[in-house]
Structure formats: C-alpha cells, structure tokens
Amino acid sequence: MRRLVPAAQLAAPLVLVAVAALVGTLVSTSSEGYFVDALVKVTIVVGLYVFIGNSGVLSFGHISFVAVGAWLAGVLSVPVREKPAIMPNLAGFLRDRTVGNIPSLLLAAAVGAAFALVVGLALMRLSGLAAGIATFAVLEITHNMLRFYEKIGPGLNTFSSVPETTGLWQAAIGAFVAIGAAFAYQRSRYGRLLRATREDPAAASAVGVSVYRQRLGAFVLSGALAGLAGGLYVHLLPMNTESVYLDLTFITLAMLVVGGSASLWGAVVGALAVSALDSFLANAENGVSLPGGTLDLPAGTRLVVVGALMALVLVARPSGITGGREFPTRWLRR
C-alpha cells in the first residue's frame, strides 16, 4: 500500500480539478465562465507554488510572466487582417504572422520561461525582503512597458479579436499539465534539493547544494507555467494591462497563502476554494436566491471578504488551511 502514497498525492489534486471541470459542464453557460476562470487560476497558483512553495522565497513578480505569456499568445493569435486596426504600431515580425491555438500556448510558456530565466539569473541571489521588493520591481517594469510600448501589443487598449478557445476542457488540461509538472518536479532530485535549501540554507549549501542554481531552476519552471496560464487567459476573455497587475497578484497570492504555500495540494485547494468563494460573492453582488431569502451584497464585497480572509489566515494559521501538507494518506500507510 505504501507504494500508492505518491500516486494518491498526485491523484488528489487532479481529481479535484476534474470534479471542478465536470461540475462546470453541468451548470448554465453563464456560470460556466466562473469554472473556466477558476481552472486558469489553478494553473497560475500551481506555477507560483513551484517557486514560492519549494524555495520558501517570496515573489510578487510572477504575474509579469503571466502577462508576457498573454501578450505573446494574444498578439500572435489575432488574425493578420485585423492587426493594423487594433495594434497599428506593431513590430514587423509580430504583425505578419498568426499562429493557431496550441502553438500560441506553447509559445506563451516558452516566453514565460525565457523571461523568468533572464530575471532569475540576476535576482535569484536575493532572498527574504530583498527578493520581495525586487520581484515587485519586475512586476512594475513589465506593467509599465506593456502599457506604453505599442510595438509589442495593444498598449493601453484591450485585446480584442483573440479567438476565445479556452473553454472548460482547455483550461482543465492546462491545470492538469501544471499539476503534473509541479508534481514531477517536487518528486525529482532537484525539487528535493530545493526544499532542503528552504528548510536550512546553510546546511544545504554545506553539503554542496547550490542554492542559486536550484532556485533558478524552479523559477524558470514556474515562469513557464505562469506563461502558459497567461496564454490560456488571453484566449478566455478580453484583457488589458490592468488585468495582469496588482489585483491578479493579490488574488493569486491570497489563494496560495490561504491554501497553504508549502504543498501542491494546498495550492490547488486554495485556488479552487478562494475561486469558489470569489464567484459566489460575485454572484451575490447581483443578488442570489438562497434557501431562506435573497442575498444581495453591495458591489465590491468580494475583495473585502477575500482580503479579510487572507489576513485572517495569515494571523491565525500562517501555514494555510491544509497546513502546507500534501493530501493526507495516513490511511494508505497502515
């Protein structure tokens, strides 16, 4: 039975995602969007987890990898005919090409990884507070460049005419890929080495682990997953620079912290739980009928509740609702 432990630890988050996708097929088309969005968020949060969870180093910068992934996939997916109208100042190599759905997602993952590599080569020497501030600076720079540099995208405008190919299945497959990659990584030699540096950097480097290289590896993998999520996102809804900035950074970090940042199970549970709460509140802002009366919350309640929840979890249970542990498998070990 013991041999089944890793299988159960991989299966549990996969099953959770599959259940969410299946429930999504049963609800009305108007609510389906919430489920697709939740599955894309799972991909982002799992990407965050690969770096933050395994290394214990904070990053406010991952949404910039989501942003560059979204930008590349978005720009390349708009049909060539429509590009001059939407993005008149586009650079030549982006203007004359259009790629299909799958290649655009792969390219999004690749550009996320490449950007993470460039950033990580410089920043992975930092830890603690300095890492937090420096990754935040990366987010600011990315946001500023994408907003005003119109050779690489729509600038201040919203992406339009991107084919909306991200439905339930594409989002679910994206989340599966992310979970599979994260699980394979954390079971691998490199994942274990990185977690050793998280527990005790001094002891890990004393036995010959390069903290810098292990962190860089995880950073690049998590950049790839974040880029993929960006590609999925741009195929889901019309987005602009504000959709990949502070709000998304906040909500995805909240998901990771609420779920428990030290485990894959925590990342997936957090993403789905906070998404569920968030969508319920979004619905309730428009009035929702419950047994025992209608609930009609004022607009803006969502962020208040999620913010309060995140603060509460941080104060009362800093390791998150799962306690930062993988799916409980004690029953398999007996």
Calculate the CA 47 to chain-centre distance. Answer: 5
Give min distance, CB of 277 to other proteins, in A: 14
In this complex, which beta carbon is closest to other proteins, that of residue 319 or of residue 329? 319
CB atoms near residue 7 (< 10 Å) = 11
Secondary structure letter of residue 241 according to DSSP: G
- Neighbour tally for 150: CB within 10 Å: 16
Options 286, 293, 300, 330; binder of other proteins; rule CB under 8 A: 300
Residue 57 interacts with other proteins (CB under 8 A): yes or no:
yes
Tell me if 22 contacts other proteins by CB under 8 A: no
Both tokens of 203, joined, read: 């002891």
Q: Which stretch binds other proteins (CB under 8 A): 40-48, 80-88, 134-142, 325-333?
A: 134-142
Binding residues for other proteins, how many (CB under 8 A)?
49
280-299 residues near other proteins, rule: CB under 8 A? 298-299
Listed ranges 4-12, 57-65, 93-101, 325-333: which one lies at the site for other proteins (CB under 8 A): 57-65
CB of 57 to other proteins, least distance (A): 7
Backbone angles phi, psi at 294, to 5 degrees: -95, 140
Rounded to the nearest 10°, the torsion over CA 76, 79, 81, 84 is -40
Helix (H) or strand (E) holding 223: helix 211-234
Our measurement of the distance from residue 95's CA atom to the centroid of its chain's CA atoms, rounded to an integer in Å, reads: 28
Residue (290 or 299) nearer to other proteins, CB: 299
Q: Determine, following the binding rule CB under 8 A, whether residue 317 of this chain makes contact with other proteins.
A: no
**Gap between the Cα atoms of 107 and 74, Å rounded:** 11
Rounded to whole angstroms, how far apart are CA atoms 232 and 171? 7
Choose, by CB under 8 A, the member of 106, 114, 126, 173 that binds other proteins: 126
Residues in contact with other proteins by the rule CB under 8 A? 56-58, 60, 122-134, 136-138, 140-141, 143-145, 148, 201, 205, 211-212, 215, 250, 253-254, 257, 298-304, 307-308, 310-311, 314-315, 318
